[in-house]
Structure 1
Amino acid sequence: MSTSHATTLRIAADGGVVLVADAYGDRADPPVVLLHGGGQTRHSWRATAHELAEAGWYTLPVDQRGHGESGWSPDGRYGLDRFAGDVVRIAEFLGRPPVLVGASLGGNASLAALGHRPELALGLVLVDVSPFFQPKGADRIRGFMSSGTEGFASLEEAADAVAAYLPHRTRPRSTEGLRKNLREVDGRYFWHWDPAFLSGTGGRAAGRDTLIDPDRLGAAARSLRVPTLLVRGGASDVLGVADATRFLDLVPHAEYADIEGAHHMVAGDDNTVFGRVLGEFLERRVASRLALFRRTRQGGA
């Protein structure tokens, strides 16, 4: 089966929301679910999805609720429970435990889901996220997302906003790549996510962030029993070295990788190194575990 073309899938989630995913590779292969950060879409995982499929993994980058082509919550609510529940629905749709790879919001959702359903996944990869974080870095992300709520007059104007937010990246010569992250309404371009994600219970309510719960996520981390990898961007202003250390103290069996020069959007900053780290972890800790399980089952048959 070709791994270069994706099959679009639609997954029913709670509240009548339908999640849209791309599936790469052979469905008979072990599944890997890729969950993006807040304000992103499944297309941020395109290169990673191709590479994993080529390596023998059935790979699903998913638009999380309120993002990309997935449905918006009818009541405008986007708390941690909603996103964690969607992770459970994705695993149920697959009919077998996947490896969960989550960046930022996707990592929190995956960790919260495993705190409720420890058997849900084959493994967990957290990308620049943990129960512990740097508030200034998180506020910078919210500031960027809030700056586009009125839309942009052109793709070039949207590209200017991205360049200001990510000054360390080389600016693409063409703005066409931005189209998948924007929707055009009455001649203006808006980011491809529900504005309610930031407003009201969509982001902060009564001064409390409904997507970040250190106590709950810390308890979920302590309960982890699956192979776990924490990847930090070496230049991240969201996940500090001390934050990563606190997580590793809670999860002694977890592996850790610090990708030099990468910021919070690790895969986008250095997909080559990220892909190698992720691929090696999956082969060493997950594929070998699956092979052992299969040999044990065959021996007992």
Structure 2
Amino acid sequence: MNTPPCPDHIDAFDQGLRNRRAVLGDAWVDRSLAQANAFNADFQSLITRYAWHDIWGRPGLDHRTRRLLVLGMTIAQGRWEEYELHLRAAVAGGVALDEIKETLLQSAIYCGVPAANTAFKLALDVLRQMGVALPAQPLTPEHRVSVHRTFSTPELHVLRQGRGTPVVLSHALGMDVHLWDALARSLAEQGCEVLRYDHRGHGQSASPPGPYSMDDLVADGARVVREWGRGPVVWVGLSMGGMVGQGLAARHPDLVRALVIANSTSWYPEAAQALWAQRIAAVESQGLAAIADGVMGRYFHDDFRAAHPEVEAAARATLLRTDPQGYVACCHAVAKVDWRDALPTIACPVLVIAGRRDQGAPVAMSEAIVHSRPGAQLVVLDNASHISVIEEPEAFERALREFLSSL
């Protein structure tokens, strides 16, 4: 009597084959196995058992990390056939193009510019063959992203691009300038000069000892605009960036032509401040990893996270790269924000954007801002939570453009 093999007792070849299929895809593996012959069958068996089971099956690194390592190693050795194979598999397997790009950029330093040049050329060929559309990013003066640092201290990392209406994009707590990549590119292409900067304690900006106050963050925003020399500006701030924008418009009205406050608040009640104290204590004792799950749950709603795991992964990586001390220092500023008395004094046009599914800054907080600032417009994005510019980019940009056209 024949009995099927017990799945708990499959051999190393079958276990390796599972990993090989998971990484390279069924079609390629089936074709490779079918083409085995008396000369190379033993070799095929060897690499399936030892490479794909003993190495790819080890728990120390996930498949995404191993994929990126293989790309770097094949670039270093100039094994371009293997490089293209694993590149194609990485893209098909969902590895983010930004992570692949960073791996290729890293190879320019450690493998040499000629090798990286070939890697980028072959990558573009593979992406074209796979039908991956890449947005244009020409390096002409009106499109090129220029990198600066403030002359004044603490030094702030600044990106600028485009020509036309001056717009400042100010990011949320735990994020950085790249929160705005897509919007900045689109605005620059359509007649805006866009500046974005990393808040102190974030990204590539300096992280002086804290705690910080909201006045510190507002002063940073003011000196960024003054050093740029293009004010008054349209200030677009999300969450913490929206808090800074409120203070800037109230304290430095000569610098702000118009204000967009997205997914933000003018103050926190006492119960919310207690939650901020808990978050600060968790980061101080356990690091940012202790709060990462909770932050991602507030920043993106469950449906978006399920549909776009790569976006959540990128945001999580940005949060975890943030200097913990700088993050905590900014938490102190955010927790104690209070612009309720200042809001009625803001003279410039104001647009408030809220996310219907936002738990961190519920719609009621945006409604309170509009109530305190007569004449402010309110736009509620039904399918967005806290990082609305990423969850609903088209709706966010449409609301912003309509506001800009009304100025």
TM-score, normalised with respect to structure 1: 0.75
Q: Is 1:274–2:377 an aligned residue pair? A: no
Task: Select the residue among 30, 33, 40 that pairs with 2:168.
Answer: 33
Q: Tell me, yes or no, if the aligned pair for 1:20 and 1:63 is still in contact at 8 Å.
A: yes
In 1, Cα distance between equivalents of 2:390 and 2:330:
25
Deviations for 1:46-75, whole angstroms, at most 9, x for unmatched residues?
1110111111010012111110011111x2
AA paired with 1:94?
A: W
Q: Tell me, yes or no, if the aligned pair for 2:175 and 2:203 is still in contact at 8 Å.
A: yes
Secondary structure of residue in 1 paired with 2:364: helix
Task: Select the residue among 140, 144, 148 that pairs with 1:9.
Answer: 148
AA paired with 1:21?
A: V
Task: Select the residue among 328, 333, 336 that pairs with 1:212.
Answer: 336
In 1, Cα distance between equivalents of 2:384 and 2:311:
22
Per the alignment, residue 61 of structure 1 pairs with: 196
Per the alignment, residue 288 of structure 1 pairs with: none
Note the C-alpha offset of 1:192. 2.8
What is the identity percentage for the equivalent residue pairs of Structure 1 and Structure 2? 24
Per the alignment, residue 193 of structure 1 pairs with: 322
Structure 1 unaligned residues grouped into runs of 5+: 183-189, 286-301
Structure 2 unaligned residues grouped into runs of 5+: 1-139
AA paired with 1:56?
A: G
Note the C-alpha offset of 1:88. 0.5
In 1, Cα distance between equivalents of 2:257 and 2:162:
18
Task: Select the residue among 251, 255, 280 that pairs with 1:116.
Answer: 251
Note the C-alpha offset of 1:203. 2.8
Q: 1:246 to 1:178 in 2, by over 3 A?
A: closer
In 1, Cα distance between equivalents of 2:310 and 2:291:
12
Per the alignment, residue 22 of structure 1 pairs with: 159
Q: 1:191 to 1:146 in 2, by over 3 A?
A: farther
Secondary structure of residue in 1 paired with 2:353: strand
Per the alignment, residue 314 of structure 2 pairs with: 178
Note the C-alpha offset of 1:133. 5.0
In 2, Cα distance between equivalents of 1:194 and 1:247:
31
**Looking at both structures, which has the greater relative contact order when contacts are Cα pairs under 8 Å and sequence separation is at least 6?**
1
In 1, Cα distance between equivalents of 2:293 and 2:341:
40
In 2, Cα distance between equivalents of 1:277 and 1:33:
16
In 1, Cα distance between equivalents of 2:312 and 2:274:
28
In 1, Cα distance between equivalents of 2:171 and 2:380:
19
Q: 1:161 to 1:175 in 2, by over 3 A?
A: farther
Q: 1:161 to 1:219 in 2, by over 3 A?
A: closer
Q: Tell me, yes or no, if the aligned pair for 2:258 and 2:348 is still in contact at 8 Å.
A: yes
In 2, Cα distance between equivalents of 1:175 and 1:127:
19
Per the alignment, residue 297 of structure 1 pairs with: none
TM-score, normalised with respect to structure 2: 0.57
In 2, Cα distance between equivalents of 1:126 and 1:43:
18
Note the C-alpha offset of 1:102. 0.6
In 2, Cα distance between equivalents of 1:141 and 1:53:
39
Deviations for 1:239-271, whole angstroms, at most 9, x for unmatched residues?
333333322222112111001110011111111
Q: Tell me, yes or no, if the aligned pair for 2:250 and 2:343 is still in contact at 8 Å.
A: yes
Per the alignment, residue 362 of structure 2 pairs with: 240
Pairing of 1:38-117 with structure 2 (within 5 A)? 38-73=173-208, 75-95=209-229, 96-117=231-252
Per the alignment, residue 259 of structure 1 pairs with: 381
Q: Cα RMSD over matched residues?
A: 3.3
Note the C-alpha offset of 1:226. 0.6
Pairing of 1:280-295 with structure 2 (within 5 A)? 280-285=402-407
